[in-house]
Structure formats: structure tokens, C-alpha cells
A and B are shown apart, each in its own frame.
Chain A
Amino acid sequence: MKNNAWKLKDVLLIAICAVLFGVIYLGCTYVGGILYGILTPFGMASLGYEPFYGIYFMAAAFGVYVMRKPGAGLIAELLAAVLECLFGNYFGPIIILSGLVQGFGFELIVALKGYKKFDRMTMIQGAVLCSVLTMGYNLVISGYNQIAVPVLALMLAVRIVSAVAIDGIVTPLLADGLVKAGVLKGYAVARDAAVDLED
């Protein structure tokens, strides 16, 4: 029987991994910053960070894929957002609002599949939905509805490619690697992998 309650080690795993993903993002902001600077005079500055957008969703993707329980995507992203807020992001608690949208993307896909399917295709669909929802958030909150549609389409396309690569392919690969290394014993992803092997 599945236990959907959150244990302390589950919370700590997601929170600590969220910090790690934050550190990785920090590393990428230097590259993103250079791209942003180069693209600013051409009016395409926001495109500079789009290739790294998938890293924002990593906490939700990792949480959903490893925990495989209702609320994992939302809780993982909210934990990551609160931590980012504590680290002094200049958007403060606004990050929590965007975290909610990001977590909802993955949560919705796995909920629609009854929390039963966590294969690569589900993760890719989650990444695409997450990208579309966050663009919707940007349209309303960031005022992107004032920007020309072709530019928004280009930004969305880059965001989807980034999210699919990082959250739909790389994050599950990393989690599968952790299962093979034997460090995720006791988590749903390892139990399901064991069942697959028996089958």
C-alpha cells in the first residue's frame, strides 16, 4: 500500500535538492547574464535566460519523479520558492507565486494520470505544460501581453526545449542513476524500479 504522508526525510531530501538546484542555477546565471547583456540592445534580453529556464522546474520534476505521491510537485516547488525567498531574491515572496504555477504544471499532468504513470513521456508532458503555464503567468504578472506575439512564441519555444531537455530527460536520468547507485532505497521511484525489474 502506498503511504502518501510526508516523512521528515522526504521534506529534507526535496528541500536540500532544491538548494542544490538553486546553486546550479546560480552557476548558469553568469552565462545567462552574459547572453542577457549581449541581447539587451537588440530588445531580446529576456531570451538570454530562457535556455536555462528548465532549471527553475527541476525541484518539481525531481519531487514528482522520486516521491510519486499527490502534492509532490506543488510541495517541492513551494519549498524551493520559500528557500529562494529566504536567500534574498529581489522578488521576495513573489517567487512563491511563480513557484505555485511551476509546481502546478507537473502536479496537473500526474494528477490527470491518476498518480500512476511516471514515465519519460509524462515528465516531458509536465515540462511542456509547466513552460506554457509559466508563460501564462508572465503574460499576466510580468506584462508580457504587451510584447509582440512572434517574440513571445520564440521565448516559449526556447523555454519548452529547455524544460523538456532538463526536466523531461535529464532529471529522470539523474534520478534513475541515483536508484541504480542504491541511494534512493525507501523512495517510490526505487520501489517502482524494483517492480519493473521483477516484471
Chain B
Amino acid sequence: MTPFLEKWNPTVKAATVLVCVILLSVQYLVSLNLTVFALCLVLLLAGSRCGLRRLAALLLPAGVAALGLFFMGLYYARGGSVDPAALDTVSALPYAVRAAMSRNLYTAPQLATRLLAYAGLGMMFALSTDTEIFIASLLHQCRLSPKFAYGILAAFHLMPGMVREFNQVRLAFAVRGLHVHPLSLQPIFTMLVNSVRWSECVAMAMESKGFCGDAPRSYCLVPRIHWYDLAAAVAAVGGIVLGMVFLRY
């Protein structure tokens, strides 16, 4: 049986995530942010088939980003900036520094937990959504043109080949004794030439198979919106609104 998060219609799921993010962006409740983050993780573990390793691979950069924002809020919150040098040079902190830090101690977790809440919502989508079903859902529920839908899928499937090609191009430059760094223009230019050629070849291949993008066509995958998709969306958005009303910190 397909777990619930994976059954949730991708378009409704994405719209729910976006509405939740907009709601979270107008509040400063650390407890709400942490609740959203924790619930997303629980839902992911209980309602999808995502592996712990993949979850950890996304949690790590999100955690590092949250830590960075925490320190930023701690030192440079609006109206309460603290010069880090002041913390090293005095044994007993002056009152002004302590007052600013106490204010900042609330701003810092606000910023960090907000990022964690966003990451939780984003991961809930990313780790429980199948690429093909998401694109099919955009095609049917958002009326995305087949040209764009299949164009996105073609580019998506070219990614591994492009990474391989990019590394080969960089290696070819290195073999010739030319030093290349991540922003070197020569390998990027070579890759752009390849990209233009690939886009023409893939377009030609798709059109030669009868794809024109405008004519009516049949689909093997037609995602639909069910009552439970909408119920889950209402529950998620309603839960956040209730949290905004009843939670205090």
C-alpha cells in the first residue's frame, strides 16, 4: 500500500507547503516553528518510504544553515547588535551588551527555527514526491503545457550525463595544463555549446517521434485530486493557523 504522503496529490501538496510558508513568514513563534519541523519529520518517517540516510543528507545542510542564522541573530539582531570583540575583551559583560544579548537570544532561535520549519516542509515534499507524478500533476492540475512538462523531464534526465560531461571537460583542460576553478569561463562556455546542441538534438528526437506539444494526446499517468488531498491541505493550514492563535512563544 502506498504511504499517505506519497499518495497526496503533488500539486495540492506543493500549494499547501507554499501557503504554510507564507503563514509562517508573518509570525515569530519559536514553538510553532519547532512543532512544524518535528511534525514534518514524524510525517516523513511514518507516511513515506524515505530512507534515514537520505533524510540525514538533507537535514545536515539545513541544520548548518540554521546554525549560521542563529549566530547571525545572536550577534546582529535589529536594535541589539553585539560586537563579538566585546565578548572577548571583558570579563564582566557591560549591561548594554547583556541587554542586547538577552533580546538577541530570542531573535536568534526565531530565525533558526523558521528556517528549520521551512526545511521540514520542503523535505516533506521533496522526499515523498515522485518526479514523474509531480510533472504529470502539473500537466493536469495546473494545465502546464506538454512542451514545458516534457522539456523539464528531458532536462532532468540529462543531469547525470551533464555532470559527467562537465567533469570530463574540466579534466580535458587540466590535461592541457590549463588550471580551471569552479567559475572558469572556458569549461562553462564549452558546456554551453554542448547544451545548445543537446537541446536541438533532444527537440529533434522528440519531434521525430511525433511529439508536437500542441495536439491532443493520451496519457498513461493522470493524477487526480481526491477528498483526502484537500482534507490534508486544510488540516495542515488549519493547524498552523491554530498554532498562531494559541501558542505564545
Interface residue? B73 (CB, 8 A): yes
Contacts of A39 in B (CB 8 A): 68
- Chain A residues with CB below 8 A from B188, complex form: 20, 24, 174
A-B contact count (CB 8 A): 218
CB-contacts of A63-92 with B (<8 A): 75, 79, 82-83, 85-92
Q: Which residues of A contact B152 (CB under 8 A)?
A: 15, 79, 82-83, 86
Closest to B73 in A: A146
Which of the candidate stretches A6-14, A109-117, A119-127, A128-136 sits at the interface with the other chain?
A6-14
Q: Closest Cβ of chain B: how far from A187's Cβ, in Å?
A: 9
**Structural contact, B185 and A13, CB atoms closer than 8 A:** no
Q: Give the distance to chain A from B18, nearest Cβ to Cβ, in Å.
A: 6
Question: Please, how many residues of chain A have a CB less than 8 angstroms from a CB on the other chain?
Answer: 68
A18 and B122 within 8 A (CB): no
Q: Is B38 an interface residue (CB 8 A)?
A: no
Judge whether A86 and B183 touch: CB under 8 Å: no
Residue B64 is within 8 A (CB to CB) of chain A in the complex: yes
**Bound form: Cα–Cα A151–B123 in Å:** 29
Interface size class of B (residues with CB under 8 A): 35 or more
A86–B129 alpha-carbon span in the complex (Å): 9
Contact A45–B119 (Cβ < 8 Å): no
Instruction: Decide: A141 and B151 in contact? CB cutoff 8 A.
Output: no
Chain B neighbourhood of A184, CB < 8 A = 196
* Interchain CB contact under 8 A, A19 and B159: yes
Question: Interface residues of B: mostly helix, strand, loop or mixed?
Answer: helix
Q: In whole angstroms, what is the CA distance A140 to B122 when docked?
A: 18
B125 touches A19 (CB 8 A): no
Q: Are B76's CB and A151's CB within 8 A?
A: yes
Given contacts A36-B64, A46-B69, contact A12 B155 (CB under 8 A): yes
Q: Is A194 part of the binding interface, using a Cβ–Cβ cutoff of 8 Å? A: no
A178-B191 Cα distance, complex, nearest whole Å: 11
Q: Are B107 and A23 in contact (CB under 8 A)?
A: no
B192 in the interface, Cβ–Cβ < 8 Å? Answer: yes
Q: Are B76 and A12 in contact (CB under 8 A)?
A: no
Known: A19-B159, A28-B183, A93-B125. A143 touches B197 (CB 8 A): no
For the complex with contacts A174-B192, A184-B196, 8 further pairs of A-B residues with Cβ separation under 8 Å are A19-B155, A20-B166, A44-B72, A75-B148, A88-B58, A91-B119, A92-B125, A147-B111
- List the interface of chain A (C-beta within 8 A of B): 6-9, 11-13, 15-20, 22-24, 27-28, 30-31, 33, 36-37, 39-46, 48, 75, 79, 82-83, 85-97, 140-143, 145-151, 170, 173-174, 177-178, 181, 183-184
